[in-house]
Amino acid sequence: MDTLTPSERSVRMALIRSRDTKPEIAVRSLVHGMGYRYRLHGKDLPGSPDLIFKAKRKVIFVHGCFWHLHRNCSNCRPPKSRRDYWKPKLERNAARDKQVRRRLRQLGWRCLVVWECELANRVRLSGKVSDFLRKI
């Protein structure tokens, strides 16, 4: 049972970071180790992508499986309480993500989404990122 007051819940939610998360830092470290250089959180691009490779016109988004509704992922379990609140909220996040990627493609950018769960297999993730950044 949820015993938090609304103000306590608000304080907890405010502690959840949107930038410089552990998964994002892990991806940045991996990409930097591969020899690529990038910019962070481009405010001039739709969705403020996490990593921006301007010369290549490519961006990488690092998504948490829960917050961005990674389908068929064990990390994306729906909350047990307040489902009427969480379901629409998380679906709006996923819809916004899709719209942002569509808009970036219209502007001539290529997008890659790295999911939090993919960090478990760094060899596979390294190949995925490398393939994405090498393609013309």
Sole residue written with tokens 């998964």 = 23
Q: pLDDT tens digit string along 7-24?
A: 776 666 655 666 678 999
Q: pLDDT tens digit string along 48-79?
A: 999 999 999 999 999 999 889 998 888 888 78
pLDDT at 76: 81
pLDDT at 60: 97
HSE-CB of 53 using CA atoms within 13 angstroms: 23
The DSSP symbol for 18 reads: S
Domain residue ranges of the chain, discontinuous segments joined by +: 19-134
The fold for domain 19-134 equals Endonuclease; Chain A (3.40.960)
The pLDDT of 94-106, averaged and rounded, is 97
